[in-house]
Structures are given as C-alpha cells and as structure tokens.
Amino acid sequence: MTAELTVAAWPGITPRLLRDGPEGLTDYQRAGGYGALTDPEQLLDEVQAGGLLGRGGAAFPMAVKLRTVRDNGQQGGEAKIGSVVIANGEEGEPASIKDRWLLRNRPHAVLDGLRLAAGIVGAGRAVVYVSDPRAAESIERALAELPGELPGVAIELLTVAPGYVAGEETAAVHVVNGGPAKPTDKPPRPFEEGVDGKPTLISNVETLAHLAFLHQHGAQTFRELGTEASPGTFLATITGAGRAPALYELPHGIAFADLLTLHGVSPDKVHGALMGGYFAGLVNRDIVGITLDHESVRALGSGLGCGAIGILTDDCPVAVAASVLAYFDRENAGQCGSCFNGTAAMAAVATGLRDGLATQEDLDRLKRWSVVLRGRGACATLDGAANVAASLLSQFPDPVQRHLENGCQTCRSGAFTADRPYEVESLEAVVAV
C-alpha cells in the first residue's frame, strides 16, 4: 500500500505520543523529558499503579517484566549478575507502522524510556534494535544530540535486515550475541538468560515511550484515559476498506464503530477485521459492536496485539487468510520442522479453498492442524498461522462453505492475492496531530 499516511490523535484528547513533525532534544527536554531518575523503586511503583501493558503484542504487564529482570540481575551476592535492556523497534509486522513512526519522529521518547528501564533493572548496557534505515538514522542523530552517555547506561544501536521473525525476543538476543536474526529454543527465556548470559529486558519501543510519559506525569495522569484493565492510549495502524492507511493514537475503550466513523468507513459495510497485524487472526462483523480494549477483544477470541487492524469490506476473508498464511509460509525461520511444514500445509489448503479446489477433508485437516500445531515452534510464527486458520473456520463459516462450492462471486471477479496483506509503506503524513 503506497498511499500517504494519515497521522492523528483521537478527537478531544491531548496526544501523548504523536506530534507534528520530528522532535529534537531541545523540544523534548522543554516538555519535561530526561528528568532525573532519583528513585528507581518509586518509578517502578508508579508503573505498577499505572498498569502499563506492553505494546508489542502480548500486552504483558511492564511492572512485572521490570521487577523480574531486576531481581534476576541482582542474584549472585556481592558480584551481581547484572542485566541488559533492549528497545525492540524491529517492526517485522507489515501491517503496522507505529514503531517506525516513533523511532523516526520521537527518538528521544524511546531513548528516555530505555534509560529509565535500564535504571530500574540496574542495567549498564542498553541496545536499540531496529531494521528500518531511516529509524536507525534518527536514533543516531538523537544519540549525537545528547551531551554524553546517559547516566549509568551505555546505549548502542544495532541494525538488522527486516523480517517477520527478526523482532522475536530470542532472535533479538541472538543478534546482539553475534548470531543470525532467528529465534532460539526456550527455556531459558531472555528475562532469565539473554545477552551475554545476563537477564535481559526486551521492550517494544512504544512501551518505552509510555514509560517516559509515566515518569513525567505519574500513574494517575496515565490512567485518565483508557479503561481500568487497559489504561492509557495506544497507537493503532488502520488499513483496508479501500482507504489510505492511518496511524491513530486512541484511548483504550473507544467504540470500534466510532473509530470506523473517524476513519471514513461506514460500519454497515464492514464484515470483519484482521487483528493484531497478522498474528491475532480474523474476526467477523461482531467487531463492529465492541470497544477497543484488551478484555473486549479477547472476549471475541482475538487480540489487539500490536494495534494493527485491517478492516474487511470488499475483500473476501478466505482470500485474506490465504494470503496471510502464504506470507507465514514464506517468512518462517526455516529451522523448526513443525513450523516449516505446518505453515506450508495450512497455506496450501487455504489457497486451494480460495481457488475453489479444496475439499471438506482438506478443511478437516486444516482445523486439526490449527489445534495440534500450536506451541510447537521456537517462536510464535506457527501460533500466528494457527490463529489465522482457526479464526477463518470459526468466524466465517458461510464464506468458507461458498468456497467449497466454488460460489464466491467476490473471488471469481478477482481474488485478493497480496504478498504482504495490508502492508503500510509510506510514512508521509497528510493529516497531522
């Protein structure tokens, strides 16, 4: 998708992360950035009270992550093990743009959050991990603006080739340790043993930017937007529906129907969505009636994930699922037999279904694979493929049946066959905050 990108905050709120144009050090400090970290424990308590959840996909509580890495790094008596922190900006998800936008436009918010995380866990080493060349240039400029090393931590930049699996946490550790950008078996997990064998905190760059906001404004202000269980705002990449892509800053808990109206899409024309980028799978028209928070989306059997939502209006969900599964087949790391063979098998069935060649026996196999293959890869790629296959069958039984009978008029007139469904390429904003 090459159309220009709309960037805007939800009407009526003061944006916390989005801004008009790139931000330099002077502007960031004038707004309160890089304030002294006088009491790491107190900030950790604020993160706990604020309820900050990870924005990379899993929505894991940030305070738990910070405390676990800190405690693991303090083992070993007087000679403490120590720890490492990684800002994960390797946005391998084609349908998401938020991390690249932040790195290019608000690098100091990311670096500030990174040094705060390092201060909380007691890390002396921090790494910014990216694949976008312009993001790397932005971080380099931001580091050059700083008068010297941030207190207590040395920050380095590491750039890798882009790839869906390259942003997986063990892949990031593998790269920092000198290996290829491919996941490794777990356990141990990075919070136990990561870079150089040390407990390692890996945090999405948006999460770190929210951490910097929490440090400046406190937990009470952080919770003024959002819901009790999903506090704060999040960055949402919205694609599909024949519209130009958009990056919105949204309070958790807004009605999805209201987001559609803001985006210029009639709720009556929506028959589903691809959630969380590619990972969380498909949901049917029920999405129109919910609010956008983790608990409500989970109730549909899906997830917000990284905040990327592809809106289905004219595209056939069978064809969309086939394209996503084909992407997983191409992008898997090629090192786990269950994933290498499983994604290929599921993609073949979905493609056959799209083209009117699949049988009921094929669908029975697809349904079985979507259950038994979960958790059998080194990373979550196979789980994402299983989510797409399972959600297609459960959420869209009528379109699936039409394809079994070779009766989908939408696909007969030209099936959706994108190599990277709902990809966002442009970062040129036409509507700014």
pLDDT exceeds cutoff 80 at 90 = yes
User: What is the model's pLDDT at position 311?
Assistant: 98
What's residue 48's pLDDT? 98
Q: What is the pLDDT of residues 202-217, one digit of tens each?
A: 999 999 999 999 999 9
Domain extents in the chain = 16-222, 317-412
Q: Tell me, what's the pLDDT at 378?
A: 87
Residue 430: what pLDDT?
A: 59
162: confidence class by pLDDT, cuts 50, 70, 90: very high
pLDDT (tens digit per residue) in 100-123: 999 999 999 999 999 999 999 999
Q: Locate 271 and state its tokens.
A: 């028959």
d(CA 226, CA 232): 5
Class of domain 16-222: alpha beta
Dihedral sign, CA of 302, 303, 305, 311? positive
Q: Compute and round to an integer the Cα radius of gyration of the chain.
A: 21
Q: Per CATH, is 317-412 categorized as 3.20.20.150?
A: no
Domain 16-222 and domain 317-412 have a common topology? no
- Predicted model pTM: 0.96
pLDDT tens by residue, 259-303: 999 999 999 999 999 999 999 999 999 999 999 999 999 999 999
Nearest Cα neighbor of 28 from 205, 235, 216, 234 is 216
For residue 150, name the pLDDT band (cuts at 50, 70, 90).
confident
The mean-pLDDT minimum among 140-154, 190-204, 365-379, 402-416 falls in 140-154
List pLDDT tens digits, range 173-204.
999 999 999 999 888 999 999 999 999 999 99
